[in-house]
Amino acid sequence: MHIHGDWFRNADTQSVCSALTEAGYQALFVGGCVRNALLGTVVSDIDIATDATPETVTMLGENAGFKVIPTGIDHGTVTVVSGGIPHEITTFRRDVETDGRRAVIAYADNVTDDARRRDFTMNALYADPDGKIIDPLGGLADLEARRVRFIEDPVERIREDYLRVLRFFRFHAWYGDARAGIDPVGLAAVAENLDGLSALSRERVGAEMKKLLDAPDPAPSVAAMRATGVLSIILPGADDRTLAPLVHAEASLGIAPDPIRRLACLGGEDIADRLRLSRKEASHLASLQSASDLVKSPDVLAYRRSYAIAQDIILLNAALLGQNPNPDDLELAQMGAAARFPIRARDLMPEYQGPALGQRMKALEEAWIESGFQLSREALLALPDES
Ligand code: ATP
Ligand code: MG
């Protein structure tokens, strides 16, 4: 069985593989690129596993004229850039011991050991440079059934790295069979091993949660997180009751998923801090949390904040009410976002100066907003000053 795709057939990627194979080493595509190629979805990054040490990969890569970056040299990863495409090349590894947050690793000489230190069977699929699949642990059958299953003993996998708990829910949301539901064995192991979650770094938790909430429908995964007790540890105070209605509302208008909108829907304490959101994400979230009282007039909301905020508030409010969002509200928001106040300060000068000028501008803008952005420049300038 073979994978197909331009992403690995191209000369740039093939020449990275050749640099390894012509020196007698293996070069195997692994992880998301193989999984997604088999599913027929987009391949965004290329991971390659090899039996060459990172030093050897660096030497071979540089000799072949590629830029080599020691991205994760302490866990065996270097990035080889060819034709502008980054290839993350990781030496075969096996887990030796663990502190529960990060597996301590040693290099391995064979692909089966390398497969056994990964998280889920569908993520332990390999392909050689010709695209021929290598499946050391039976991941292919699980992928075909869209079963997200921990490799071997779920409890051991979780205790080696608690981030895998969050990855379990994330991969189920993206690649699992929604009708079959989440693997019950994995779920039981999660529920019995919650202790290590609070020690995870906020950066890792935040990155995982955003990827989970970016899935087309994360609601079943988040419900399972709540039921197992994971949600209240990761996001104390979060409530997923309106998440499924939000996903439904988004779909009804054909609006793409957005992790921050979905976080606003879940709520909870100190979200931005707990998930180490960027400044921009935190400010969007704060706007959604503070703007809900303005929901009656999407045009005003869009004018004052932005179209994106107004759209998100419309969706969140529909979810809260359990109703379909009104497409007319989106149109109003578009109108509000495009509206431009027709008065400039110089139009009011020299009659108005200093603070009085600011006050007059503000009063006219209010009157203009009040009119549904309809009053013309002339009509506004003719308004009597009642202050
Ligand atoms: P995507 O890039 O689409 O999120 P991916 O499967 O490529 O999905 P990555 O986080 O890029 O996920 O990791 C690449 C591969 O490395 C995974 O497929 C998996 O085999 C392995 N891996 C990553 N993180 C872990 C982890 N915490 N525990 C075990 N294996 C992991
Ligand atoms: Mg990846």
SS3 68: strand
Q: How many angstroms separate the CA atoms of 24 and 52, rounded?
A: 9
Q: Which ligand gives the minimal distance to the CA of 77?
A: 1
Q: Is 118 in the pocket of ligand 1 (CB under 6 A)?
A: yes
- Residue 255 has what DSSP assignment? P
Q: Among positive and negative, which fits the CA dihedral 351, 355, 356, 360?
A: positive
Please name every residue paired with 48 in a beta bridge, in sequence order, or none if there are none. Answer: 29, 89
Angle at 147 between CA 131 and CA 134, to 5 degrees: 25
Q: How many angstroms separate the CA atoms of 140 and 124, rounded?
A: 9
Q: Is 210 in the pocket of ligand 1 (CB under 6 A)?
A: no
Q: Residue 90 CA: which ligand 1 atom is closest?
A: 16
pTM greater than the 0.85 cutoff: yes
Query: Residues near 387 by Cβ (< 8 Å), separated by ≥ 6?
Result: 359, 360, 363
CB 121 within 8 A of CB 137: yes
Q: What's the farthest any 2 CA atoms get from each other in the chain? A: 87
Q: Is 47 in the pocket of ligand 1 (CB under 6 A)?
A: yes
- Exposure string for 130-157, b = 16+ CB within 10 A, e = fewer: ebebbbbbebbebbeebbbbbbeebbeb
Residue 295: the pLDDT is: 56
* Residue nearest atom 27 in ligand 1 by C-alpha distance: 164
Residue 387: the pLDDT is: 78
- Alpha carbon of 358 to those of 198, 209, 353, 379: distances in Å? 51, 44, 8, 19
DSSP state letters, 107-137:
E-SSHHHHHHTSSBGGGS-EE-TT-BEE-TT
Phi and psi at 50, nearest 5°, equal -150, 160
Residue 289: the pLDDT is: 87
Residue 6, both tokens: 């331009």
Q: Out of 33, 94, 123, give the residue to mutate to test ligand 1, the one with the largest number of ligand atoms within 8 Å of its CB.
A: 123
Annotated domain spans of the chain:
1-144, 149-234, 236-339, 340-381
- 72 C-alpha to ligand 1 centroid (Å): 14
Q: Identify the CATH homologous superfamily for domain 149-234.
A: cca-adding enzyme, domain 2 (1.10.3090.10)
Chunked into runs of 10 residues, the chain (387 residues) has average pLDDT values of 95 98 98 96 96 96 97 92 97 76 77 96 98 97 97 95 97 96 97 96 98 98 98 97 96 96 96 97 92 73 93 94 92 95 94 94 95 94 89
Q: Is 123 in the pocket of ligand 1 (CB under 6 A)?
A: yes
CB 372 within 8 A of CB 299: yes
1-144 to CATH, choices 3.30.450.20, 3.30.300.30, 3.30.460.10, 3.40.50.2000 = 3.30.460.10
Q: Is 76 in the pocket of ligand 1 (CB under 6 A)?
A: no
- 255 C-alpha to ligand 1 centroid (Å): 28
Residue 140: the pLDDT is: 97
Q: Is 164 in the pocket of ligand 1 (CB under 6 A)?
A: yes
Q: Residue 211 CA: which ligand 1 atom is closest?
A: 4
Q: Which ligand gives the minimal distance to the CA of 31?
A: 1
- 127 C-alpha to ligand 2 centroid (Å): 15
Residue 74: the pLDDT is: 83
* Residue nearest atom 10 in ligand 1 by C-alpha distance: 32
- 99 C-alpha to ligand 1 centroid (Å): 19
Q: How many angstroms separate the CA atoms of 32 and 75, rounded?
A: 18
Please name every residue paired with 104 in a beta bridge, in sequence order, or none if there are none. Answer: 97
Q: Is 60 in the pocket of ligand 1 (CB under 6 A)?
A: no
* Residue nearest atom 17 in ligand 1 by C-alpha distance: 31
Residue 294: the pLDDT is: 53
Residue 96: the pLDDT is: 74
Q: Residue 163 CA: which ligand 1 atom is closest?
A: 27
Q: Out of 34, 119, 125, give the residue to mutate to test ligand 1, the one with the largest number of ligand atoms within 8 Å of its CB.
A: 119
Residue 151, both tokens: 């490799």
CB 151 within 8 A of CB 115: yes
Residue 330, both tokens: 């989106």
Residue 75: the pLDDT is: 87
Angle at 167 between CA 275 and CA 248, to 5 degrees: 75
Residue 279's identity, in one-letter code, is: R
Torsion of CA 327, 331, 337, 343, to 10 degrees: -150
CB 196 within 8 A of CB 168: no
CB 223 within 8 A of CB 229: no
